[in-house]
Chains A and B, each alone.
Chain A
Amino acid sequence: MELDELTARLIDRYQHGMPLCAEPYLEMANTLGCSEKELMACLQRLELAGALSRVGPVFDHSRAGASTLAALAVPAERLEQVAARISRYPEVNHNYAREHHYNLWFVLTGPNRRHLEQILEELEKDTGLVPLDLPMLTSYRIDLGFALGGHP
């Protein structure tokens, strides 16, 4: 989608550090120099274009519960079916095909590690494919969202 100037500023300013107060959208609008109504319209346009998944907190995986990155090497003719099977789990929040022998990559989140292991065991039993289980050990970067850079 094409971004107008206000939307680009909104994105660059508020992927991180949204105010925690009774009227956060009004405060954001005041900072950006627009009305609350204009700000809401920006958010709605982004959402309708599929560019905004939500507004609010992104939980720290290690504190909010357990998470892991998992991968499967799926025969090409089964990729569609296995991917659909995986996406059905509410615990799966990212599920991508990637160019590699391990061609299906997904992130699992849940209340604890045991919960995730049970899902991986279930998947292995159902698909006959052995998942790679790659939980995060160390994070070397604070997640700040991503910069549009170069945008007007």
Chain B
Amino acid sequence: MIAPLNHEQLLDLRQCLERGLPRVSRPYEDLAEQIGAHHLQVLKQMQQWQEQGLFRRVGLVLNHRALGYVANAMLVLDVPDALIDEVGQRLGRAPGITLCYQRPRRLPHWRYNLFCMVHGRERAAVQAQIQALLDQHLLADLPHHLLFSTRMFKQCGGRFAPPPSQVWAHG
């Protein structure tokens, strides 16, 4: 029987994980030491979080810019509400789309409600790829806009863990 981590250890573990796994042969031993626990407790907690869906994925988190994927475009579309799920699911499955989210409109400033990210090596190729995608799915007549990134000021992992004063954990 492996004892569960206590509240403080859970918060500490989450904070450690947001910075990434230590790159040593036995990373969970390293983490266990940092939070004052046994590595089997940490591993069991990781498996639980995985099953509960707290992790979107576990693996290498890359910076695509450094890999040459410098053309980063956000495609935004104004999709009629009645069609948003159908269009979202179709674009979400399309090759080359890395994220596909519905977000609220903010009228009159912002009319678009579907957001897709596309990464590529060259701007012209990304533009052509998106145009082909819109044509293929008969979406080219919907109001849409392509926002290429021109500068990256910051990119790192999310910091969800609350400051220690707040009582909040995912057990």
**Chain A interfacial positions (CB closer than 8 Å to B):** 1, 3, 10-11, 14-18, 20-26, 36, 40, 43-44, 46, 49-61, 63-65, 67, 69, 71, 83-84, 86-87, 90-100, 102, 105-107, 109-112, 115, 132-146, 148
Contacts of B27 in A (CB 8 A): 24-25
Contact, CB under 8 Å: B63 / A59:
no
Min C-beta distance of B17 to chain A, whole Å: 6
Contact, CB under 8 Å: B153 / A134:
no
Min C-beta distance of B155 to chain A, whole Å: 5
Q: Per-residue 0/1 for B82-95: is the Cβ within 8 Å of any A Cβ (1 yes, 0 no)?
A: 00110011011100
Closest to B110 in A: A132
| Residue in contact with A22 in the complex, picked from B17, B28, B59, B85, CB distance below 8 Å | B28
Contact, CB under 8 Å: B74 / A137:
no
The interface residues of chain B, by DSSP majority, are classed as mixed
A71 CA to B145 CA in the complex, in Å? 15
Closest to B162 in A: A111
Which size bracket describes the interface of B in this complex? 35 or more
Contacts of A26 in B (CB 8 A): 25
Q: Is B142 an interface residue (CB 8 A)?
A: no
Min C-beta distance of A27 to chain B, whole Å: 11
Q: For the complex of A and B, list the 6 residue pairs with the smallest distance between their C-beta atoms, beginning with the closest.
A: A54-B20, A140-B92, A111-B162, A65-B160, A109-B158, A140-B88
Contacts of B102 in A (CB 8 A): 136-140
B117-153: which have CB < 8 Å to A? Answer: 119, 145, 147-153
Q: Is B34 an interface residue (CB 8 A)?
A: no
Contacts of B103 in A (CB 8 A): 69, 134-137
| Residue in contact with A53 in the complex, picked from B46, B62, B91, CB distance below 8 Å | B62
Q: Is B37 an interface residue (CB 8 A)?
A: no
